[in-house]
Amino acid sequence: MTSALGIREVSEQTGLSIDTLRWYEREGLIPLVERTSTGQRRYPPAAVRFIRLVQALRRTGMPVAEVRHFVQLGGGRLENHPVRLALLEEQRRSIERQVDQLHEDLAVLTGKMAEYRRLIDAGLDCEDDVEVPETCSPAGAETGTARHLRSTA
């Protein structure tokens, strides 16, 4: 008795749609899937683990062509291990750069949120990207820009 799964079970386990699994197969992003005598796909546990790896590579931005290259190298042969390892190491470096950038972006957003909280707590209106409190006016007060626009209308 094999523990291979059908496409529906793999879809449920991975969160990928059946159409996406079929597309992955057509695009060469997963190794060839075994078929029953009636043509139904059967995914052994190793294939499901590999699909999860492909999902991770795609979510982290690895282009389809690079994933395909990774698959085409074949995982079992010793001579392919260094090349596959190098591809994964480069993707890891790319992810680390993305994480660093996301941390910087998060800090910017967190700072802006703190500024809005300060303005709300102080009951102040303020134009975007103005950090000098003197340029902010009490909430509901007409700003110089608003007065200028109203007077020229």
User: Using CA atoms, how far apart are residues 140 and 124, in angstroms rounded to an integer?
Assistant: 8
User: pLDDT tens digit string along 94-111?
Assistant: 999 999 999 999 999 999
| Contact predicate 43/10, CB 8 Å | yes
User: pLDDT tens digit string along 114-137?
Assistant: 999 998 998 888 766 555 455 566
User: pLDDT tens digit string along 76-88?
Assistant: 889 999 999 999 9
133 or 39, greater pLDDT: 39
pTM over 0.75: no
Among residues of the chain, what percentage have pLDDT more than 70? Answer: 81
- 3-class secondary structure, 5: strand
pLDDT band at 150 (very low <50, low <70, confident <90, very high): very low
- Torsion angle (degrees, nearest 10) of CA 26, 29, 31, 34: -40
